[in-house]
């Protein structure tokens, strides 16, 4: 087997980046654009002792689940499984959760993944990188596993107005020769364009992330944006730091307010540029309803919402419980959670800023107890001390909302080994056409 050989291979699985996996002469072969069950012809490159990359030349026998990509931007790295039929995507996601649980010896039934009826234009947030090129500033998404840009104004998972706003900003940048960001030199004016819409409020926000304080020709930009009455907020966010962090900490309002409103589960939320907010509004309602139902609230409970963000789940819980205690690392998110609670008249809530691994044990030591605990941690899952303290609190019900099946399985294995029974696992598709899968797991304490 050597470089540039054309070979035929059968694809048996997908990596978590969405590349097809096959076996050839004892090597694992990775083929971008190939699906499980397919026989494909590939040209080899990157041949190593244990693995090789294959460039897809032809699909000799297509998977019955192969469809034409719903989006015209094949080269974009944003969606990994746009060529897989949506029903098959949902089956794959359920299978991923099942496999992760099985790998930890958990045998719970995993329900069918709850998908969208119309899995397009679902995102309420877009982030375009702005780069310096020979032809002036360019805006786009990153190509697969690279920081090279792909122009993607009419992204298939963004609402239609996105394309018009991106084109308007590009035109303004190029007219005035305003520099895009040069990552290597850490220079330039504009680093990112972020767009966010309140799906039910109809309010839009446009954020220009700049390297420094300077942003020339703002008056002309605002004049160009005047034809979009949906824009309730135009903000300059300043991020002088090197690295992959997108937003800096300082905001300057250029038009309207610093934030926009949105309605979620019948509650009003105010979203400033730095606020974490789930990106798929209809599926967020589905996810939260699943979490809420799993809590089985009767109205008299104290509920902990750990990793609460701006308090979206907490406030849903607060309508059905006696008292809700929210815990979150980012202090600004806690300020937002308190303001959101007040805005919605939910005064049976309290919020604590700090790392869960410090705050939860401190609250327990101070005498706090919970009847029900909801956790919604980042991808790495819960710190062991958080799980241990939860066990000490001995809530009757634990609801684990997870964006990573592997860390979910690890934490569920710990909880089920310490007095809790796994009742149900419900995957929810928050990110159609990508390999991400969100799940809600419900556990009950053995009596």
Site for ligand SAH in 264-283 (CB under 6 A): 276, 278
Residue 278 is assigned to a ligand binding site:
yes
Counting contacts by CB under 6 A, is residue 355 touching ligand SAH?
yes
Minimum distance between the CB of residue 329 and ligand SAH, rounded to whole angstroms? 3
Counting contacts by CB under 6 A, is residue 329 touching ligand SAH?
yes
List the x/- string, 76-105, binding to ligand SAH by CB under 6 A. Answer: ------------------------------
Give the residue carrying structure tokens 């767009």. 195
Q: Which is nearer to ligand SAH, 258 or 383 (CB)?
A: 383
**How far is 310 from 87, CA to CA, in rounded Å?**
33
List the x/- string, 378-417, binding to ligand SAH by CB under 6 A. Answer: x---------------------------------------
Residue 400 is assigned to a ligand binding site:
no
- 55 burial type by CB count under 10 A (0-12 exposed, 13-18 middle, 19+ buried): middle
The helix or strand, by DSSP H or E, that contains position 299, with its residue range, turns out to be none
Q: Do the Cβ atoms of 1 and 25 come closer than 8 Å?
A: yes
**How far is 13 from 26, CA to CA, in rounded Å?**
16
**How far is 311 from 335, CA to CA, in rounded Å?**
10
Query: Binder to ligand SAH among 35, 317, 341, 356 (CB under 6 A)?
Result: 356
**How far is 385 from 360, CA to CA, in rounded Å?**
9
What would the two tokens of residue 205 be? 């926000």
CB-hemisphere CA count at 13 Å for 221?
24
- 96 burial type by CB count under 10 A (0-12 exposed, 13-18 middle, 19+ buried): buried
Q: Which is nearer to ligand SAH, 298 or 378 (CB)?
A: 378
Q: Which is nearer to ligand SAH, 192 or 351 (CB)?
A: 351
Minimum distance between the CB of residue 334 and ligand SAH, rounded to whole angstroms? 10
Counting contacts by CB under 6 A, is residue 439 touching ligand SAH?
no
Site for ligand SAH in 282-321 (CB under 6 A): 307-309, 312-313
Query: Binder to ligand SAH among 333, 341, 373, 425 (CB under 6 A)?
Result: 333
Query: Binder to ligand SAH among 328, 371, 406, 429 (CB under 6 A)?
Result: 328
Which residues, 6+ apart, have CB-to-CB distance to 1 below 8 Å? 7, 24, 25, 27, 44, 47, 52
Please give the C-alpha separations between residue 355 and each of 361, 373, 382, 385, in angstroms, as whole numbers.
10, 16, 11, 11
Counting contacts by CB under 6 A, is residue 353 touching ligand SAH?
no
Stretch that binds ligand SAH, among 62-70, 236-244, 351-359, 435-443 (CB under 6 A): 351-359
**How far is 22 from 36, CA to CA, in rounded Å?**
9
Residue 376 is assigned to a ligand binding site:
yes
Q: Which is nearer to ligand SAH, 111 or 329 (CB)?
A: 329
Minimum distance between the CB of residue 357 and ligand SAH, rounded to whole angstroms? 6
Neighbours of 234 (CB within 10 A): 21
Q: Which is nearer to ligand SAH, 200 or 329 (CB)?
A: 329
Chain position whose Cβ is nearest to ligand SAH: 309
Minimum distance between the CB of residue 382 and ligand SAH, rounded to whole angstroms? 9
Determine whether 308 is an active site residue.
no
Residue 328 is assigned to a ligand binding site:
yes
Helices (H) and strands (E) in the chain, counts: 9, 21
Minimum distance between the CB of residue 432 and ligand SAH, rounded to whole angstroms? 18
Long-range contact pairs involving 313-318 (C-beta distance under 8 Å, separation at least 24): 313/288, 313/374, 313/376, 313/401, 314/341, 314/349, 314/351, 315/267, 315/340, 315/341, 315/344, 315/346, 315/349, 316/265, 316/267, 316/288, 316/291, 316/292, 317/292, 317/374, 318/346, 318/348, 318/349
Minimum distance between the CB of residue 36 and ligand SAH, rounded to whole angstroms? 31
- Catalytic site residues? 403
Residues near ligand SAH, by CB under 6 A = 276, 278, 307-309, 312-313, 327-330, 333, 355-357, 376, 378
Task: Point out the annotated binding site for S-adenosyl-L-methionine.
Answer: 278, 307, 328, 376
Task: Point out the annotated binding site.
Answer: 278, 307, 328, 376
């Amino acid at each position: 087997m050597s470089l540039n050989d054309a070979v035929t291979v059968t694809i048996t699985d997908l990596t978590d980046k969405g590349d097809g996996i096959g076996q050839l002469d004892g090597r694992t072969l990775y083929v971008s654009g190939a699906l499980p069950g397919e026989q494909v012809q590939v040209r080899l490159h990157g041949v190593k002792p244990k693995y090789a990359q294959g460039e897809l030349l032809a699909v000799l026998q297509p998977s019955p689940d192969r469809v034409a990509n719903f989006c015209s931007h094949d080269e974009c790295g944003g969606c990994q499984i746009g060529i897989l039929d949506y029903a098959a995507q949902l089956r794959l996601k359920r299978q991923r959760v099942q496999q992760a649980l099985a790998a930890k010896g958990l045998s719970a039934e995993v329900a069918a993944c709850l998908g969208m009826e119309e899995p397009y234009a679902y995102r309420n947030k877009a982030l375009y990188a702005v780069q310096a090129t020979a032809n002036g500033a360019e805006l786009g998404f990153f190509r697969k596993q690279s920081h090279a840009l792909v122009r993607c104004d009419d992204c298939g998972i963004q609402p239609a107005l996105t394309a018009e706003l991106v084109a308007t900003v590009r035109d303004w940048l190029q007219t005035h020769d305003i520099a895009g960001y040069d990552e290597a030199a850490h220079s330039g004016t504009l680093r990112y364009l972020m767009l966010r819409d309140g799906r039910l409020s109809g309010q839009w926000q446009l954020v220009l992330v700049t390297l420094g304080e300077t942003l020339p020709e703002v008056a002309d930009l605002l004049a160009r944006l005047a034809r979009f009455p949906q824009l309730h907020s135009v903000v300059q966010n300043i991020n002088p730091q090197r690295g992959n962090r997108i937003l800096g900490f300082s905001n300057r309002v250029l038009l309207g307010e610093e934030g926009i409103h949105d309605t979620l589960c019948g509650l009003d939320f105010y979203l400033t540029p730095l606020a974490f907010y789930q990106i798929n509004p209809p599926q967020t309602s589905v996810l939260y309803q699943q979490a809420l139902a799993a809590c089985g609230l009767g109205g008299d409970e104290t509920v902990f919402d750990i990793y609460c963000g701006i308090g979206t789940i907490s406030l849903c819980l607060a309508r059905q419980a006696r008292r809700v205690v929210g815990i979150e690392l980012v202090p600004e998110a806690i300020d937002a959670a308190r303001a959101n609670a007040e805005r919605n008249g939910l005064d049976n809530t309290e919020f604590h800023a700090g790392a869960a691994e410090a705050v939860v044990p401190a609250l327990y030591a101070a005498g706090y107890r919970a009847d029900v605990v909801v956790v919604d941690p980042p991808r790495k899952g819960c710190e062991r001390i958080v799980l241990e303290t939860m066990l000490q609190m001995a809530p009757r019900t634990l609801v684990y909302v997870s964006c990573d099946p592997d860390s979910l399985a690890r934490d569920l294995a710990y909880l089920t080994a310490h007095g809790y029974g796994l009742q149900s696992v419900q995957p929810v598709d928050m990110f159609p056409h990508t390999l991400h899968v969100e799940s809600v797991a419900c556990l009950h304490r053995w009596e």
